[in-house]
Amino acid sequence: MCISTINKYISSILLLLKRYRAYISLRLNPKIDLLMKTTPHVFSNNDITVTYNPCQCINAERCAKELSNVFRQSVIPWIDLDGESTDKIIQQVKKCPSGALKFHINQKEVA
């Protein structure tokens, strides 16, 4: 087994542990759960706004695997809407299997 494969396994395990810890803390503290259910994470660029609801995410990692310049696993903020064209981001958001990712087109100000 090569080093890069081992690194990928270790990264995946660490990510799962991080998400499991977040899940457990939500279960132990319903106030946080309520807060997260009502305040999804919001990211915007000039064209679109993308929201991420962690309570809906099934951690399939489809977004991170298929568009890693935008949906980053170990960087905060984890969604970088400047990482790819708006069309590609919209196509990826539409593929989210759980509906945790959503988008809307930003309203342009009319002078």
Tell me the chain's radius of gyration from C-alpha atoms: 16
Diameter of the chain measured on Cα atoms = 60
Minimum gap (Å) between residue 99 Cβ and ligand SF4: 8
| Ordered DSSP codes for 5-38 | HHHHHHHHHHHHHHHHHHHHHHHH-HHHHHHHHH
Minimum gap (Å) between residue 106 Cβ and ligand SF4: 20
- Sole window of 11-19, 24-32, 78-86, 92-100 interacting with ligand SF4 (rule: CB under 6 A): 92-100
| Residue from 36, 9, 10, 11 nearest 23 by CA | 36
Q: Is 98 in the site for ligand SF4 (CB under 6 A)?
A: yes
Q: CB–CB of 89/50 below 8 Å? A: yes
Among residues 1 and 93, whose Cβ is nearest to ligand SF4?
93
User: What residues between 37 and 66 interact with ligand SF4 by CB under 6 A?
Assistant: 57-63
User: What residues between 62 and 91 interact with ligand SF4 by CB under 6 A?
Assistant: 62-63
Q: Is 102 in the site for ligand SF4 (CB under 6 A)?
A: no
Query: Which residues would be at the binding site for ligand SF4 (CB under 6 A)?
Result: 57-63, 96-98, 100-101
